[in-house]
Amino acid sequence: MLLESKGLTKYFGGLAAVSHFDIYVKQGEAVGLIGPNGAGKTTVFNLITGLFPPTRGTVLFDGKDITGKKPHLVAKLGIGRAFQLAPLFADFTVLENVVASFHLRPRSSLWDAFLNTATYRRNEEYILQRSMEILQLVGLHEVKNNLAKNLPHGYQKMLGMARALAIGPKLLLLDEPIGGMSQDEIKLTRTAIEKMCKQGVSILLVEHNMQIMDLCDRVVVMNFGKKIAEGSLSEVRENEEVVQAYFGGKHAA
């Protein structure tokens, strides 16, 4: 098991944003996490990546307990994340964004960087080359010298994914990777995600748009912070509780 959360609970004041939430991702698996707005999907991501600590429950990654660990330590263990909003360094160019994201592997010491040693120059050369490969993969190599803040929304999201890839993640958390994208951009992103899956990166994906959910081996549905269904996409679609959550039940109508 690559990622496993047990009884994950987060209270904001009296509100249980996430309660007793269990989810697991196996090595090489792509798992979808869906649910209506405000269901707690992004909070789950924030709990996994350590942006804030859970009220209760544990998160295991690669056999290690990462509950409440600082975000940069979680990243170090191999969890990459593409954010839903503002996923990038706005004042850097596209290429600089990816280069700056290569912080962990390879890692030059502060002295190496300051003294411009051979190790540092070799690392930087490698980073530049790898960054170009990643930009090629997500399809942003042609705009590599544009400022990130000047990119259209869809490209910014793709850049967010490219940045997350720079840490060489074992698990990639994608928060609405195609939200607000044009059809062409969706196609590009889809291809990129498929390629990542082939390279053996496990993926946990939050998305409303069903156009890429078929990439997932398994789907988990949540509502009001709780898991309400789990299974293949077609199984989940048939689930009554899920239909109710999305389209409203008898009372809501």
| Interacting residues with other proteins (CB under 8 A) | 49, 51, 70-72, 75-76, 80-81, 83, 86-92, 96, 99-104, 108, 110, 113-114, 116, 120, 124, 163-164, 166-167
Give the three-state DSSP class for 201. coil
**Which C-beta is closer to other proteins: that of 158 or that of 219?**
158
Closest separation between CB of residue 215 and other proteins, Å? 22
Closest separation between CB of residue 31 and other proteins, Å? 19
**Which C-beta is closer to other proteins: that of 116 or that of 199?**
116
Instruction: Give the whole-angstrom CA distance, residue 56 versus residue 24.
Output: 17
CB 158, CB 193: distance < 8 Å: no
Instruction: Give the whole-angstrom CA distance, residue 193 versus residue 38.
Output: 25
Quote the tokens at residue 202: 């496990």
Closest separation between CB of residue 6 and other proteins, Å? 23
Closest separation between CB of residue 164 and other proteins, Å? 7
Instruction: Give the whole-angstrom CA distance, residue 221 versus residue 216.
Output: 13
DSSP state of 169: -
**Which C-beta is closer to other proteins: that of 36 or that of 106?**
106
**Which C-beta is closer to other proteins: that of 60 or that of 113?**
113
CB 72, CB 167: distance < 8 Å: no
Q: What are phi and psi of 94, to 5 degrees?
A: -55, -50
Instruction: Give the whole-angstrom CA distance, residue 85 versus residue 82.
Output: 9
Closest separation between CB of residue 90 and other proteins, Å? 6
**Which C-beta is closer to other proteins: that of 41 or that of 227?**
41
Q: Among residues 82, 61, 55, 89, which one has the least CA distance to residue 73?
A: 61
